[in-house]
C-alpha cells in the first residue's frame, strides 16, 4: 500500500483504511424490490428491513458494551502483555461496531460522526498495541486519552439504551423520517469531543469542515425528476438501472437520496437539494487487486470530478490500500492548494471505476476568495523550518484553522526520525502547524 502527498511529498507509507462504506441495507432493499415487484407485499418487505436494522442495532449495543469494558480494564492494567491484548480487542470491536453503524446510517445521517469516532478509537488502539513491548507500557498521557474515550463509550451506551426503551414501546426504524430518538441520540453524541491524535486516512486537513454554514452550494432547489436527470449526466456512458428515490434528508446539508445500479453495481447517491451537486456516492463492490497504478487512479478521479462540475481539481494526496485507491482532490489555482475545499474520491485499482465520493468539505467551505500576496518568498519561508528536518521545496497552501479561519501558508516536507509536514504562515513567517506522520507498518497516524 502506498501513500503520498502529490508534490512535494513522495515518500511511500502504509495505510489501513477503516472507512466503512457498507451498503448491505441498500443491497437488501434493491434485492427485495426485485423479488416482490409491483405487487409486493409491502408489510412483509417493511418487516424484513426492520429486522435488518434491529439486528444492526443490537449488534452495535453488544460491541459498544465490550469496548467500554475493555477500555475500563486497560485503565487498571499495568502489564505490557495484558495491555497489548486488550488494545487489540478494542480494535477488533470497533470494526464490528463501525459496520453496524454504517447499516444504521441509512436511517440517520448524524451517525457519520459517531462512526468516525469509533474508527479513530480503533486506529489509536492499534497504534498503541504496536508500540507496546516487554519494557514499554502505556504512558500516563495515553491512559488519560483512553479514559476520555471510555467515558464517551459509557455515554454512548446510555444513549443507545434510549433507543432500546423506544423499541420496547413499539418504535420501528422503518417509521423514522427525521427527528425523534434516533436523531437525538447521535446528534447529542456529536457535540462531545475527545483530545486524541488526529488520524487521517487520506491526507492533511481531510476533515476540514471549518464552518457549519454551507457556503459552497449554488443554484435552485431540485426535485426528484431533476435529480434523475443529473444522475444520468454525472454517470454519462454508464448503464444506470433500477433507480429508486429514497426521499429527502434534512440535515446539515439537505439532500435527495437515490439507490440504483451503475454498470450492474449497487450504489447509493446523495444529491444536494440546493443545486444538485453530488455530495456522497458509495458503491457496494469489493476490489480484487494487490496493488494499483495510483497515477492512473488519480487521473480517473480528476476526470470524474471535472464531469461533476468541480473546477481546477488536482490530486494532492493519494493512498493505495490493497488495490483500493483513495484520492484527495483540491482546487489548485495560481499554484495555491485550497485544502478546505477537498473532494475525496475512491477508485478501484482493478478497473479504474469510481466506487466512492465525498464532497462535503467542498460544499461547506468553497467560496470565491481574494487572497493577499504572500509577504514571504518561498525561500524565506523555507529558511524558517528547522534545518535538521532537511526540508524539501514546498508549495503555497490555504489551510483551515481550529477557530474556523483560513491561513495562507507554505507547506514543507521534512525528515527527522519520521516524516513531518511543516506549515509556515506566508504573511508573518510564524510556524502555525506541524503534522507528524507515524508509520505503524499497518496504518498511518498524522498527529
Residue 371 DSSP label:
P
CA separation for the pair 248, 279 (Å, rounded)? 13
pLDDT band with cut points at 50, 70 and 90 for residue 177: low
> Which CA distances in Å does 416 have to 128, 222, 380?
21, 52, 21
Match 472507512 to its residue by C-alpha cell. 19
Q: For the chain, what are the domain ranges?
A: 41-189, 224-365, 378-446
- Residue the block writes with cell 429527502: 248
Q: What is the pLDDT of residue 28?
A: 43
Select the more confidently predicted residue: 12 or 59. Answer: 59
User: Is residue 1 pLDDT above 60, yes or no?
Assistant: no
User: Cβ atoms within 10 A of the Cβ of 155, count?
Assistant: 14
What's the pLDDT band for 24 if we cut at 50, 70, 90?
very low
pTM of the model: 0.61
Give the residues across from 354 on adjacent strands: 347
* Alpha helices (H) along 13-139: 24-36, 42-76, 80-104, 111-131
Unique residue bearing C-alpha cell 535538521: 388
Residue pair 174/53 in contact (Cβ under 8 Å)? The answer is: yes
Its CATH architecture, for the domain 378-446, is: Roll (3.10)
Q: What is the pLDDT of residue 225?
A: 97
Q: Is the pLDDT of residue 394 over 70?
A: yes
pLDDT tens readout for residues 47-106: 777 788 788 888 889 999 999 989 988 887 877 888 998 999 999 999 888 888 877 765
CB 325 within 8 Å of CB 294: yes
The pLDDT of residue 435: 76
Q: What is the pLDDT of residues 208-217, one digit of tens each?
A: 554 467 888 9
| pLDDT at position 33 | 45
Mean pLDDT for the chain overall: 79
- Taking the C-alpha atoms of residue 321 and residue 344, their distance in angstroms, rounded to an integer, is 15
Q: Is the pLDDT of residue 358 over 70?
A: yes
Among 165-169, 199-203, 223-227, 389-393, the range scoring the smallest mean pLDDT is 199-203
How many H helices and E strands in the chain? Answer: 10, 15
Which residues on adjacent β-strands are paired with residue 265?
262
Amino acid at each position: 500500500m502506498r501513500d503520498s502527498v502529490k508534490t512535494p511529498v513522495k515518500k511511500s507509507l502504509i495505510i489501513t483504511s477503516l472507512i466503512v462504506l457498507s451498503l448491505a441495507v441498500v443491497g437488501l432493499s434493491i434485492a427485495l424490490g426485485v423479488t416482490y415487484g409491483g405487487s409486493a407485499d409491502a408489510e412483509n418487505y417493511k418487516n424484513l428491513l426492520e429486522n435488518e436494522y434491529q439486528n444492526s442495532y443490537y449488534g452495535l449495543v453488544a460491541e459498544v458494551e465490550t469496548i467500554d469494558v475493555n477500555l475500563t480494564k486497560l485503565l487498571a492494567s499495568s502489564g505490557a502483555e495484558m495491555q497489548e491484548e486488550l488494545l487489540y480487542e478494542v480494535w477488533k470491536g470497533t470494526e464490528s461496531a463501525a459496520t453496524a453503524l454504517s447499516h444504521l446510517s441509512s436511517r440517520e445521517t448524524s451517525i457519520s460522526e459517531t462512526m468516525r469516532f469509533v474508527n479513530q478509537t480503533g486506529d489509536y488502539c492499534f497504534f498503541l498495541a504496536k508500540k507496546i513491548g516487554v519494557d514499554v507500557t502505556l504512558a500516563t498521557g495515553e491512559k488519560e486519552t483512553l479514559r476520555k474515550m471510555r467515558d464517551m463509550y459509557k455515554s454512548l451506551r446510555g444513549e443507545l439504551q434510549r433507543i432500546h426503551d423506544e423499541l420496547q414501546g413499539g418504535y420501528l426504524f422503518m417509521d423514522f423520517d427525521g427527528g425523534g430518538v434516533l436523531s437525538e441520540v447521535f446528534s447529542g453524541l456529536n457535540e462531545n469531543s475527545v483530545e486524541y491524535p488526529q488520524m487521517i486516512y487520506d491526507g492533511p486537513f481531510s476533515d476540514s469542515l471549518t464552518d457549519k454554514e454551507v457556503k459552497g452550494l449554488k443554484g435552485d432547489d431540485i426535485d426528484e425528476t431533476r435529480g434523475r436527470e443529473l444522475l444520468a449526466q454525472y454517470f454519462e456512458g454508464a448503464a444506470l438501472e433500477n433507480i429508486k428515490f429514497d426521499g429527502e434528508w434534512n440535515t446539515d446539508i439537505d439532500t435527495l437520496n437515490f439507490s440504483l445500479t451503475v454498470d450492474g453495481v449497487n450504489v447509493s447517491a446523495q444529491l444536494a437539494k440546493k443545486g444538485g451537486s453530488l455530495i456522497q456516492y458509495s458503491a457496494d463492490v469489493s476490489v480484487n487487486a494487490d496493488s494499483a497504478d495510483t497515477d492512473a487512479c488519480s487521473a480517473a478521479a480528476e476526470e470524474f470530478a471535472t464531469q461533476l462540475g468541480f473546477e481546477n481539481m488536482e490530486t494532492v494526496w493519494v493512498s493505495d490500500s490493497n488495490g483500493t485507491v483513495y484520492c484527495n482532490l483540491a482546487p489548485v489555482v495560481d499554484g495555491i492548494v485550497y485544502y478546505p475545499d477537498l473532494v475525496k474520491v475512491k477508485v478501484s485499482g482493478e478497473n479504474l471505476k469510481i466506487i466512492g465520493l465525498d464532497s462535503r468539505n467542498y460544499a461547506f467551505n468553497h467560496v470565491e476568495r481574494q487572497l493577499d500576496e504572500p509577504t514571504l518568498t518561498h525561500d524565506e519561508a523555507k529558511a524558517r523550518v528547522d534545518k535538521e528536518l532537511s526540508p524539501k521545496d514546498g508549495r503555497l497552501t490555504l489551510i483551515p484553522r481550529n477557530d474556523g479561519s483560513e491561513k495562507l501558508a507554505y507547506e514543507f516536507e521534512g525528515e527527522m526520525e519520521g516524516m513531518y509536514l511543516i506549515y509556515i504562515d506566508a504573511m508573518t513567517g510564524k510556524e502555525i502547524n506541524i503534522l507528524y506522520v507515524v508509520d505503524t507498518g499497518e496504518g498511518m497516524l498524522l498527529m
